[in-house]
Amino acid sequence: MKNSWKYSLCLASVLGTAFSVQAADLEIEELTTELTNPWGMVFLPDGKLVITERPGNIRLYDEKAGLSAPLKNVPEVVASGQGGMLGITADPNFAENNKIYFCYSKPGDGGSSTGVSSAVLKGDALTDVKDIFTQYPLVDNGFHFGCRLTFDADGHLFVSLGERYAHMKEAQNLDNHLGKVVRIWPDGSVPEDNPFTDGKAPEVYSYGHRNVQGLTIHPQTGAVWEMEHGPKGGDEINLLGKGNNYGWPVITYGIDYSGSIISDKTEMEGMEQPVLYWDPSIAPSGMAFYHGDKFPEWEGDLLVGSLKFTHLRHVEMDNGKPGEQTEYFRDRKERIRDVVVSPEGYVYMLTDSPDGKLLKVSPAK
């Protein structure tokens, strides 16, 4: 059963480039409350949502039929710590081939890695499941897997990969996939114009990342944007560029959880600065540029979920530069794991909880 609330609130944000107090008239519906730690979602052309649950399931949601049972033939995952079934996206030609792509923590000999598989969605099951990418090397811990997926206009599949925490320095090592964003074709092959095709990890597109929890394409420019968790402080939003080094852990705006200094540098020649960073951290997860007619004043702005401070964050964007920020729904005290904009312009969110929810945000009637 759907539950609906109307909000007419004055909401303030003090963590942006400018202070914002803004009245908002929003309506939020609980479309389902029967998800277990949902992590990622994607809309299909027919309006259905495909949703991942971190413990290892993939499910469908239809506004008429509701939430499906877990799909059959889903690969085994290592559902430990931050690992499990993670990001998901649909093939740009889904209407013709019914293909989806998903990230998961993949078991291996001596540890686990972040794997990416393709599959054909057929009824209540996955068919033709194929591994198309496996992060190298395997690591024996349950931290910082990443992993979000997105396609650009040229059909490249971008995959965000964490540095697995205990191996943070490897984010600067171009011989592996730790702390990288990789770019591949849908079959897993390497584009010829990738920046490091002569190395041991030719899939790498950019490096020096920590734990990327947001990855999206700008609807007007087609540029790839990513968002990553910092340590204690220093969460970042970055505009990705081919071959760019984003600095972790050589430069950072955060410190270690113990309070010790990771680096005393926040900038260095040859390393990119974030478009936006948060200190203190908000633990951001899921990001989408708004495009639609339901919230016309938000057009081109960035929407971000916050796990730590339990809110949806609206970041005003002006020609690629962040402006005022506003928090919504913090009073609900629900960790927001993913945010997407529907083809109709509504905002959908997933809450990270054993009793996870799918939420729909609309203008108040």
Supply the DSSP symbol for 94: H
Residue of 158, 161, 118, 159 whose CA lies nearest to 136: 161
Residue 335, Cα to own-chain centre: how many angstroms? 14
Q: Is 177 a catalytic residue?
A: no
Asked whether 97 and 118 are in contact (CB, 8 A), the reply is no
Q: Which of 144, 167, 311, 314 is catalytic?
A: 144
Q: Give the type of residue at 240.
A: L
Query: Which residues, listed in sequence order, are joined to residue 49 by a DSSP beta bridge?
Result: 43, 61
300: helix, strand or coil: coil
DSSP assignments along 32-92, one per residue: EEEESSEEEEEE-TTS-EEEEETTTEEEEEETTTEEPPPPBSPPP---STT-SEEEEEE-T
d(CA 239, CA 214): 12
51-55: list long-range contacts, CB under 8 Å, 24+ apart: 51/88, 51/350, 51/358, 52/85, 52/86, 52/87, 52/88, 52/102, 53/84, 53/85, 53/356, 54/79, 54/83, 54/84, 54/85, 54/86, 55/79, 55/84, 55/85
Catalytic positions, written as ranges: 144
